[in-house]
Amino acid sequence: MAAAGKKLVECFYDVVSPYSWLGFECLSRYRHIWNIELHFRPVFLGGIMGGTGNKPPAMLPKKGEYMMTDIMRMAKYYQVPARIPKDFFDTIIKKGSLSAMRFLTAVDLTQPQFLEPLSRELWMRIWSRDEDITQPESILAAAGKAGLPLDQAQKLLEMSTSAEVKNRLREVTDEAMKYGVFGLPSFVAHVGDQTQLFFGSDRIELLGDFLGEKWLGPVPASPNL
């Protein structure tokens, strides 16, 4: 729960989800404008899909076709450099993000100050430069760009296959589903004794309304300018 006088927002995400990237960046911009305590919560989208009976939108042909256009439209609107991978099915559906999310979980457990920049670097690899995020060398490259020293990154890579990390990722994924999460990104807001779930990067305006804050668009000007 949030500290006294603070509004807590938990951002549940998986780097395989481009919409999660949009929501992640948007909330990062609003963190200080809305004076919220923002917690990034890496989860496994495949576990949420399996646990709730949901299906990837791209598996429905017409919805998948629409999503390709929608992602690019939303990326432009949110000013996030997202691009569609050339082999969407192989990259997103077949390879997925389990190893990356386990690595992020290890980072969150031991070096949480690197969680935000590393998540961003993984999104940049898969959703902007069409690069791999499943192989160890790819994960280490992203970690390096996020500022994580190589020796620490290698230790975390080893840790990411441990029972501790696997269980932690499963626990946070289960926790998200207990809140009612069925897809990503999902935001769980806590204000006083009230808790509400918001699904989708296009619901941050409603999240702001619940927080008693004003929506200033996806790229708000700094209050200090």
pLDDT reported for residue 99 = 98
pLDDT reported for residue 144 = 98
pLDDT reported for residue 59 = 84
pLDDT reported for residue 224 = 46
pTM: 0.95
Thinking of the domain 7-211, which architecture would CATH place it in? 3-Layer(aba) Sandwich (3.40)
pLDDT reported for residue 221 = 82
- Collect the ranges in the chain with pLDDT lower than 70: 1-5, 222-225
Q: What percent of the chain has pLDDT over 70?
A: 96
pLDDT reported for residue 161 = 98
pLDDT reported for residue 84 = 96
pLDDT reported for residue 56 = 85
pLDDT reported for residue 186 = 98
The full set of domain ranges for the chain reads 7-211
pLDDT reported for residue 57 = 84
pLDDT reported for residue 202 = 96
Written as one string, the DSSP assignment of the chain is -PPTT-EEEEEEE-TT-HHHHHHHHHHHHHTTTTTEEEEEEE--HHHHHHHHT---GGGSHHHHHHHHHHHHHHHHHHT------TTHIIIIIII-SHHHHHHHHHHHHH-GGGHHHHHHHHHHHHHTS---SSSHHHHHHHHHHTT--HHHHHHHHHHTTSHHHHHHHHHHHHHHHHTT--SSSEEEEEETTEEEEEESGGGHHHHHHHHT-----SSPPPTT-
